[in-house]
């Protein structure tokens, strides 16, 4: 159980275009999902917390107008990278806590990530 599916697994786009990444919880409902970014040989950096039915909470230094997050249902959160630039090229990973888990101390279930390359 507690499977998180992320799509697409990789995408190449031209500079200036927008890219949407989907994150779905397949067998549970996730009121909260987390979006991370990971550069090569670096750790996961939390970008934002996606809350179903309300606005996302962004970490310091993350532009909310550039990284649009929509959590329209209990099983789907999307991250849209708007007006992408080469420096946005990275590995984007979403995660969620399993259903019934408290917000504290429970493990995260991760999607398999999306490799974004902006040319």
Partner 1 sequence: SQKIEQNSEALNIQEGKTATLTCNYTNYSPAYLQWYRQDPGRGPVFLLLIRENEKEKRKERLKVTFDTTLKQSLFHITASQPADSATYLCALERLTGGGNKLTFGTGTQLKVEL
Interface residue list for partner 1 (CB under 8 A): 4, 6, 32, 34, 42-44, 46, 49, 57, 91, 93, 95, 103-113, 115
Closer to partner 1 by CB, 45 or 68: give it: 45
Could you tell me if 4 and 93 are in contact, meaning their C-beta atoms sit under 8 angstroms apart?
no
Closer to partner 1 by CB, 19 or 93: give it: 93
Which of 112, 106, 116, 115 lies closest to 5 in space, CA to CA? 112
Could you tell me if 28 and 50 are in contact, meaning their C-beta atoms sit under 8 angstroms apart?
no
Name the minimum Å distance from CB 98 to partner 1. 10
Name the minimum Å distance from CB 96 to partner 1. 11
Name the minimum Å distance from CB 45 to partner 1. 8
Q: What is the DSSP letter of 59?
A: P
Cis peptide before 8 (omega within 30 of 0): yes
Name the minimum Å distance from CB 15 to partner 1. 23
Closer to partner 1 by CB, 55 or 83: give it: 55
| Residue 57 to residues 22, 60, 119, Cα–Cα distance (Å) | 18, 10, 29
Closer to partner 1 by CB, 25 or 95: give it: 95
């Amino acid at each position: 159980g507690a499977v998180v599916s992320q799509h697409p697994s990789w995408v190449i786009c031209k500079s200036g275009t927008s890219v949407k990444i989907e994150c779905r919880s397949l067998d549970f409902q996730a009121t909260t999902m987390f979006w991370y970014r990971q550069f090569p040989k670096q750790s996961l950096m939390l970008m934002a917390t996606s809350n179903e039915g309300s606005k996302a909470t962004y970490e310091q230094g993350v532009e909310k107008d550039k990284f649009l997050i929509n959590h329209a249902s209990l099983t789907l959160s999307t991250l849209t990278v708007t007006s992408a630039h080469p420096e946005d090229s990275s590995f984007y990973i979403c995660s969620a806590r399993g259903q019934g888990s408290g917000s504290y101390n429970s493990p995260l279930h991760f999607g398999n990530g999306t490799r974004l390359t902006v040319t």
